[in-house]
Structure 1
Amino acid sequence: MFKKSTWLHLRIPFSYFLLPIYFFGISISPNLSEPSLLWLFIILHLFIYPASNAFNSYFDKDEKSIGGLKSPPPVDKNLLYMAWLFDIIGISLSIWQFKNNWTLTLMLLVYILVSRAYSHPSIRLKKYAFLSWFIAGLFQGAWVVWIIYIGLNNFEFSHILKPHVLIPGLMASVILWGAYPMTQIYQHEEDAKRGDKTLSIKLGVKGTFLFTAVFFVMASVLYFFYFEAYHQAKYGWTFILAMTPIVLFFVGWFLAVLKNGDKANYKNTMWLNFISATCLGGFFLYFFLNSTNILTAVGQY
């Protein structure tokens, strides 16, 4: 079970790309405690996300590059067992550290089941272009924001329907709905071979770039008005500033692809993911520290 190939397919470093969602989720929470912040991070980024990666790798059996792994080794049953083990550990930690917060545990279980449905051959949401796009963006974005909110505050599920919780969750999904097709742009051959008609295949390479560009613009506008309405306009301007390096790389990459289609490759996709995660993660961390007055409190000591 503890083979090197199995650990590689967990793709734990790949969780870095979802870090902005975590920072955004904790920034809207009214109740914060260091142990809860730490344990939610560990549960999601070190167990639940890697388990999902492993499960997906087991059933995809990719021979070419996948997210976070340029040369994936062959898979075997050990990988499936490890996926289940990591999920069990994540759920067990949730029950142990967030006692009586059964809503959190159930929401984590729903996330796990959806990620299984995404890859498992008996359902395989991945083969449905628009459904998989919508489900992946919704659950890796909004659902995770709501998981964090429920986990930190021990509120009932109905609290996510309140505008100040519902709206940020959906906005987190807007970013992922834009980015998701870009993560598939170099996998057209592999996905088509398995019969997975991904959204990126449907859109084509050029269409994928244009689709993502529309969502980048939409996200910038929505986040600006959200911060202006619920917080301060300065956060909206700072968000746009944080998006600038992402947009510059994106435009440069698009122009390169128009000249040479081979540039729509794994290396450039990972660079876009890294720049996006770093810039947006940095912004949401700043927003969390500033809006919760943690920076002010630290400055007084």
Structure 2
Amino acid sequence: MRLAVTGHEGQVAASLIERGRDDVEVVAVGRPALDLARPETIFAALEAARPDIVVSAAAYTAVDQAEDEKDLAFAINAAGAGKVAEAAARLGVPVIQLSTDYVFDGSKDGAYVETDATAPLGVYGASKLAGEEAVAAANPRHLILRTAWVYSPFGRNFVKTMLRLAAERHEISVVADQWGNPTSALDIADAILHAAAILRDDKSFAASGVYHLAGSGETNWSGFARHVLDASRAFGGPHASVRDIATADYPTKAKRPANSRLSSAKFADVFGWRSPEWRAAAEEVVRRLERFKI
């Protein structure tokens, strides 16, 4: 099976390349050959990749900057994602689209399920929701995977930021009133490869639709930070104390959901795959980062 993933440097793309198995060839397709802001590049780049399944992982992810760059965010996350799905449909293959917890406003008491009403708080979430709609309209053979709080050994992410700050200071202030499921991109890659193997042989694509895919268990940002730093200390890396603060104490241009918890029960039921517990997954990433000083 040949799997084409959009984006060269994204956390999910890098994780898919690493996790690729003997029976799965993962090909990353990104700029300049494929540029979501230049829709005329998309079909030719994917056609050249000769995929059996397309994973649409590239996105505009600058949450605060999106408030000032609405047109660009929508061009990439909505129109661009739709063009990727359309290209996959023209090639006769399914598309797996990565989406986000930011499609919700965070007001629910409990974990969000796929049928809950969407209500994005900012431009980034709105652009990703529009992308979900464009993908579903362009290619009936689609999986839309909403995830949250993604980290990995690759790229920029919360875990790497905490380790960097711990090497520079004794105390780090971290928001304590936002809750979610920390999710390793390595686990997202494993889930995608698992689902892709099933979808390859499912000509009817009966499993098409929206799914949540996040780490098992929940915490707040400060709890996530404490666990990361405790693991770092255990592996001989930097450590700092964490001071709880409120969202109001750390103002950002874009409003974040107070509750980003996602229930991944539907994905587990349909595909028979469940994310590892978030603490163990985070420890593995910290161990790698400290061992190899990434």
**Shorter-chain TM-score range:** 0.3 to 0.5
Which has a greater percent of helix? 1
Q: Return the TM-score normalized by structure 1.
A: 0.34
Which has a greater percent of strand? 2
